[in-house]
Chains A and B, each alone.
Chain A
């Protein structure tokens, strides 16, 4: 059992190791290393360790060509992905409000169908996908730094919610600082854990495309959300589509690829006025509240209340002050 010693040694040496090195430095480290004490310390901090040789190590991750020696897990519940459909949702950190809304809705609808939504806890699309998934199910975040770090720090609250209702995973032991070279390595785990990878918005040559490439290398399915052809943020995704990635127009497209039955459609909510009138304005395209006021002739307060109710019903989402209809609910 040298896996734990390997990752701790690698962290101290600032290296990235997949297997125990044959060096005297490592041998002497291994003699000094008290695995039992280390594990006790981890568990006192609520962190579990799953070695690659462990039966509970995620099977799909073990199948990639460069699996990590093991993974650290921070969660209230033991990690078990066996038999669960898993999808990675990745995309630009500086995404548009469209990308944010799509990622949230995909996360939510896929999680509602029982899919574990995997992403990298980064800003933008990643965080939106995690948040969406937490609304209706569970999610898994892969860190590119030590398992004890909430990176980026701005997502500390989100990370807390994920440990309550999902899992945070890293191949790096506590104390490893975030470093740019570790993020591509993190992406291979995101892609490796998932049956399929959905790219929501990506610039050319961006990290999300690296994840897509890694997924393709492992023979996993890659899907992409179409975007406006004029937007930089759609260059990457539209290029993927041209190369043959499956287009995503709603959550059902993804479930189809996974072979997962979509959950029974909820009873279509019977909307009274003014909700129905407002919803039909929103259905014409993203729109600000003032424009809705002008098109419906309703009072601003009435429109605000109706929009909040439509949001609660999951029929409408808002970002940067624009309201848009939730996909696939017509």
Chain B
């Protein structure tokens, strides 16, 4: 028997929204430590990895490991029926072919039950190697979302370069080109709150190209967390991480594009 309850059901809905356009279906791996998920987009360019710790749940019980094969679009349909303040419970039997989603309103006056059919998904777990990144940037997630959205109006590939000066996003397209640079916030400005601050940890300068359409997809997760971390390396995937307080994280990996040889 697997059972978990999340006070802020809305958070789970947002998670699924930020996955479903990238990955069609995937396996929720539930064990005694929490729930994790890994999925690659169909062209093998991007990978999404999510982990939710059991501590983040109001209730968490997992007697034996359970794998829930989920079609995210279908799950999204069910989660649309949830009120924004509802509590969410998920239940599943070890060998069952469906999972139960229960929504309960704040005042416990409304209860909704939905059963989602599970799928058999043949998927290999991919080991993501821990690597030392050359540059790690922490910035407000809304800022990243805005930059990606604005730049994609001009071109489809963004070049991200991290230097001592700051982090530069540049784009070129048929109509012209442009760039946006963010500088590290002055350490003097610290007023106890480090949100809205841009921090760059740089080992050495690095520059990589990425497809903007994927980045636009990833930044859908902006509502999950006010801050986002970008990790860059040479000839390595970019990692974009959104941390959710106490609950866990969602990470996106994106393979770079190679420079035009021409």
Genuine A/B complex: no
The residues of A with any CB-CB pair to B shorter than 8 Å are none
